[in-house]
């Protein structure tokens, strides 16, 4: 992982997410980029002429200054933290772009496998791993990581990539499956056995385990991971029409941080991050 991007609106939840990302960057030996997307003020736009260049330059300079102050606050907090005051400080850069957050990320990301976004909210239309940090989450040592699977063989390559991440923390990697009540029991069992057989052959990591959560709502299943299994980070692959889509539609999108009390890493389908 080379760069962790932190899109920010300077709110308290986003500041908390940024500090979490700073700890993560230390362990992953990654750089940090604080970034802010700003929009064109309608009152200064003349349809025939477009947006005056001096307005653009002024707003960009202003947001870069805000980001620099934000970076200084992160550095001070990092150096005053007893757990990190003697650790090397990750490189922090600042970027400001006009447009949407998605547009900005597309401009900044060259290789999705070598980048991660850390944010307090879901960002649509980006093909980069996104780590969602609930508003009140404080960074702590990551001792147990859960990967939620539907036993798709494509997940094995993602699990292989995750072993590098887990190894940096010497963390347990718990392979979990949340099974809906309507699933055919026999078909589900056969699919599970085939998946586990392949997993055991292809994954060389001494601290991975399998856990089942059955006959339970997916939201409740994620909460169970946090409370009963003491999971510090949940990882899911974003597959179309799959379990994560059911989690992130409708009211779930607006209330994601309220439903999930532990960090959630969302990895785009067919992407194998380089941790």
At 179 the pLDDT is: 63
CATH topology of domain 144-268: Rossmann fold (3.40.50)
Q: Could you give the CA distance from residue 202 to residue 254 in angstroms, rounded to a whole number?
A: 38
Domain ranges of the chain: 3-132, 144-268
DSSP string, 11-79: -HHHHHHHHHHHHHHHHHT-EEEEEEEE---GGG-BTTTBS-HHHHHHHHHHHHHHHHHHHHHHHHHHH
pTM of the model: 0.84
At 135 the pLDDT is: 82
At 97 the pLDDT is: 86
At 30 the pLDDT is: 94
User: Cβ distance 205 to 167 under 8 Å?
Assistant: yes
- pLDDT tens for each residue of the chain, 275 residues long: 789 999 999 999 999 999 999 999 999 999 999 999 987 655 544 444 455 566 777 888 889 999 999 999 999 999 999 888 888 999 999 999 888 888 899 899 988 889 999 998 877 777 899 999 988 788 878 999 999 888 888 899 999 999 999 999 999 999 888 666 556 778 878 888 899 889 888 888 999 888 776 655 656 666 676 677 788 998 988 765 444 444 444 433 334 445 567 888 989 888 888 88
Note the CATH architecture for domain 3-132: 3-Layer(aba) Sandwich (3.40)
At 118 the pLDDT is: 95
At 221 the pLDDT is: 65
**144-268 matches 3-132 in CATH topology:** yes
């Amino acid at each position: 992982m080379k760069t962790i991007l932190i899109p920010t609106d300077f709110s308290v939840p986003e500041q908390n997410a940024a500090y979490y990302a700073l700890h993560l960057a230390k362990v992953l030996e990654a750089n940090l980029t604080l970034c802010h997307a700003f929009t064109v003020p309608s009152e200064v736009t003349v349809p025939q002429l477009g947006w005056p260049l001096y307005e653009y330059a002024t707003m960009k300079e202003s947001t870069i200054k805000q980001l620099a102050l934000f970076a200084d606050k992160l550095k001070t907090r990092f150096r005053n933290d007893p757990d990190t005051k003697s650790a090397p400080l990750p490189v922090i850069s600042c970027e400001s772009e006009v447009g949407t957050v998605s547009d900005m990320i597309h401009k900044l990301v060259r290789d999705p496998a070598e980048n991660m976004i850390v944010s307090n909210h879901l960002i649509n239309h980006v093909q980069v791993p996104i780590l969602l940090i609930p508003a009140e989450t404080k960074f702590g040592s990551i001792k147990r990581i859960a990967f939620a699977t539907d036993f798709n063989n494509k997940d094995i390559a993602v699990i292989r990539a995750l072993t590098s991440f887990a190894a940096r923390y010497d963390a347990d990697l718990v392979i979990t499956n949340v099974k809906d009540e309507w699933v055919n029991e026999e078909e589900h069992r056969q699919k599970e056995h085939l998946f586990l057989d392949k997993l055991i052959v292809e994954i060389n990591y001494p601290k991975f385990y399998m856990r089942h959560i059955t006959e339970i709502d997916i939201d409740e299943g994620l909460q169970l991971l946090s409370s009963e299994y003491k999971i510090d980070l949940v990882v899911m692959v974003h597959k179309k029409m799959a379990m994560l889509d059911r989690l992130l539609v409708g009211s779930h999108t607006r209330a994601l941080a309220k439903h999930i009390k532990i960090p959630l890493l969302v990895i785009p389908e067919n992407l194998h991050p380089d941790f």
